Structure 1
């Protein structure tokens, strides 16, 4: 190639490259300044941030509190924020120290060590009163600002109940395509993945942080004077607060108790019988926040169906009370489940009440086969009357949601997987005592016993009481709702209450006779396939005279000799009694 031609081609190549580069720069400067690349980066904000120091007061996502308004994580209260440029000016350190009741030297040292804005108290900020906050702000000193600040206490009460928040661009686009297109949120906005965080995500999703900002030069000195700017989303009603039904003191004690007991898999549910509110819910294993779905730690086992074992005899007993003449009838409890071999516990001839109290398998296998020979749907019908055939969590209409659920991950109970089992005596026998394919969640079990204690009223279980605006006004209040229209007869309910009480008086729950509250309930031991492990349950309500609480504890996949279930149930009753006495 001739030299001139080569130079000519090179010049054209360079010119085309420059045109492309200039065009790209022009596009970025003129058209993509607020939404650059697939990540929708705001270049103006990024350039400002290079010359900005600041502190995030809250991340803009809604918060969760317990029934009394106490935070379940990340507390939010008035705090004192000091800016580093105070070290270059005279400021009323004596007056500030007097207002907040601390040492002058502590304030001076905090400012001298500050490289950016700092919250007084560090990881555990000093909690100010409203009066102190107003007095400090009345000083009108640049760099001294008292305001509400969200603390990260690295501790979450009811981690599975509350759930987790993560960045998930695909899921975010699916949920909030319009908000994303309008720039209200970015692809990096965290969203709720599990628990209440998932259920209430649309009410919680952040549309911007609240910050205190000031601009600095390349030496870190303030530009444009000493002005500190407050920035936050313009809507004064947000972020919202989700007022849950939990009682934080009870929840914290329940978590401590479960962990100290050594219970590795399982947990507990505590319900208020009248309102059917969740007062405490603990699921184990613990959730690893760094990798929440590792080793099933992200699952809330309290809302997932488990093998119930003899807990299910409550259903079989209910059907028998209403459909079988039990007067004077006795059952051979020296026989096993199928009536063809000796039982592992030789209990002799027992009537119906004692059969329930001693959890005699043969009695309920015999009764179930007898009833199903007349009506093969009878177990299903009474499971429905006790609220077991559908999810039990609150579900209803909330604004544009036709079917809003407090527990979107809850799975309904299973009674039969194969309808042909209703024609097989052994399958019926196993189903009658909560084995075979029977699966019920601990939440549904607790609600079933609460239904019996509440004279047969089948209600939905609430996890949240109301949604509250930032200013304290109520956005939405969740009404108490029934789960099934048909109630069991007063006689049946009275008989079931007697059966559950007899378990504690003379049966498998005698260990609970000395508790400070009188308890009625039912134990359950479920074989887990051929693993050799068992699920161990106890569910009950108390005090019997005026039922207030329904509690279920389950220890999953354990050896037959392990006793954490009974220990946790008994200690939990004692804790609630002590807390009530302290109020």
Structure 2
């Protein structure tokens, strides 16, 4: 009997000891080794709430992109209609006429209203084409009037992009890209904090600033439910926000949204099919406007069409605007005297090289040759230079390399570049460089390539007396509470500057181009303007040309430096870029 009791006591003690060890193990895991079994930085309380909550996401929590004045370029807040189908269905049966009046006020089709009430979820949003419909102030007021008794609510909803999608290529878009997500967030995906199918920045600022823009929390509208998915009594519909005082961040760009919008509206009004307009602040090289046509819908991407690419950052044949770099080389290396006169008879005599003006320009100085964009004179100048001298002068103007802001940034491995997909351009692609290659390159043909951003920044360099700057598109990043996360200072290039004398002479040549040269159509503008035209031949005549214009205004107190490109124009047509530049400057003048 005693032995039997002893065995029972031993079994009981072993059971209690095992149970105690299990409790201790659980405590140990929860207090000290939770990271091995639960995703790092996971909030267990939030996870428990998430498990009991049924609802819809109102804000994905991705960082916002703003213009220089704080106006949103992404993350637009509007009121959306949230519906509890079960309650709304019951209310509409009891208040048939009121429900009908509400439906009409909302502009909702009967089928839409019927489908909403048939939803089997606890809460849903009224959507069209998969996107929540924005309510007007009057509609929201009426929804709030009926409120919870009718199972309807006006709730704040954050939509990433809204039409007309200004600066769409610059902003970029989001997409699922598992391999790149693993490359960026490998540790967090492995730990279970993030999923590899999350949407990440695929182009533009969305891509280059992905590391600060990504979501760290969400705002959700939901109902708490029990294990059987039934609403818990006493826990009403509520918004649960897991964002913090730090996130989502605010990226403050240098863009002027109002000016950007007016330039894009101008392009649409004129029916321009393919064009780029870049406006820079001449004192800082900050981007004020970067507009392209065609535009694209950031939620409906056609990768093959390529409209999502930022043409302002893509290298193109520049035509005669490259004569600015050749003239700079001639002045810097003293191969042309101020009063020297060149002779243009219209034909060079070999390589099939000729001037655009049949019969030639006759006798003309360097300034006159620049203003008239004389090919023969610039061929003679190029022969006095070497490719290395042309390259050096061009590089001092910011050509032949990625010119956008780049540097070391906290939290980013390697060299950080603000502009996604910026191309470097080039001068001479082949070697050896014979006379034919040299003179064709001197007029911006052959292998010469520039981006519109480089072209606009070249004008900024001249206006700053030859000092080269790197254009910025982002000025700073701020936390959710407004405190500073990081800033991007104005960046001056370390390379030797162009001489002030040369910069001043080139600006005078650009003024002469408007007074007497190829840009005479701008002479009657309300502002005094200066600039240089360019016509880039694409190959065979039937392929057409690109029209370029680079310039600034007003001459005595410049407000902007500009590059305008109108692509794919008929050969032998008037320079559409110069005409567009005139209208752009009208908008800048009115904008103040």
| Contact map agreement 2:87 2:149 (CA 8 A) in 1 | no
TM-score by length of 1: 0.79
Please list the CA deviations of residues 80-117 of structure 1 after superposition, one character each: whole Å capped at 9, or x if unmatched: 96766876999xxxxxxxxxxxxxx7599879987445
Equivalence for 1:68: 69
Q: 1:338 to 1:302 in 2, by over 3 A?
A: farther
TM-superposition CA deviations, 1:247-272 (whole Å, max 9, x none): 11111122222233333233111111
Secondary structure class of the residue paired with 2:260 = helix
Q: Structure 2: how far apart are the matches of 1:225 and 1:387?
A: 66
Q: 2:133 aligns with which of 118, 123, 130?
A: 123
Deviations 1:469-503 (A, max 9, x none): 11222211110001244222221111111001111
356-365 or 76-85, which deviates more: 76-85
Select 1:153's aligned residue among 159, 162, 166. Answer: 162
Q: Is the 8 A contact 2:79 2:135 kept in 1?
A: no
Question: Aligned ranges for residues 369-408 of structure 1 at < 5 Å?
Answer: 369-372=383-386, 376-401=387-412, 402-408=414-420
Residue of structure 2 equivalent to 1:181: 190
**1:413 aligns to 2:422 (yes or no):** no
1:349 alignment partner, one of 339, 356, 363: 363
Cα distance in 2 for partners of 1:400, 1:118 equals: 37
CA deviation after TM superposition for structure 1 residue 78, in Å: 7.6
**Residues 560-569 or 326-335, more deviating:** 560-569
1:48 Cα deviation from its structure 2 partner: 7.6
- Number of corresponding residues: 516
Partner of 2:459: 449
Please tell me whether the aligned partners of residues 82 and 120 of structure 1 are also in contact (alpha carbons under 8 angstroms).
no
Instruction: Give, in whole Å, the separation in 1 of the partners of 2:522 and 2:444.
Output: 23
1:368–1:428 CA contact under 8 A, matched in 2: yes
Q: Show the counterpart of 1:358.
A: 372
Aligned to 2:553: 542
How far did residue 527 of structure 1 move? Answer: 0.9
1:478-517 → structure 2 map (5 Å cutoff): 478-517=488-527
* Distance 1:234-1:243 versus aligned 2 partners, 3 A rule: closer
Task: Quote the residue 2:205 is aligned against.
Answer: 196
Paired with 1:65 and 1:472, the residues of 2 have a C-alpha distance of 13
Structure 1 189/208 Cα, relative in aligned 2: closer, same or farther at 3 Å?
farther
- Secondary structure of the 1:231 match is strand
On the 8 A contact 2:216/2:243 being kept in 1, the answer is: no
Q: Deviations over 1:338-364 (max 9, x none)?
A: 578874412211111111000000111
Structure 2 CA distance for partners of 1:183 and 1:354, relative to 1, 3 Å: same
Within 2, Cα distance between the matches of 1:274 and 1:141?
A: 59
1:518–1:186: structure 2 CA closer, same or farther, 3 Å change rule?
Answer: same
Pick one of 277, 282, 289 that aligns with 2:291: 282
Indicate how the Cα distance of structure 1 residues 124 and 364 shifts in structure 2: closer, same or farther if over 3 A, else same: same
- Distance apart, 1:125 and its partner CA: 3.4
1:460 and 2:470 are equivalent in the alignment: yes
CA deviations 1:153-179 (Å, max 9, x no partner) are: 344211110111101111111110111
Q: What's the counterpart of residue 317 of structure 2?
A: 307
Once residues 488 and 48 of structure 1 are traced to their aligned partners in structure 2, the CA distance between those partners, rounded to angstroms, is: 61
The root-mean-square deviation of aligned C-alpha atoms, in Å, is 3.7
Q: Secondary structure at the match of 1:525?
A: strand
Unmatched tracts of structure 1, length 5 or more? 1-34, 36-43, 91-104
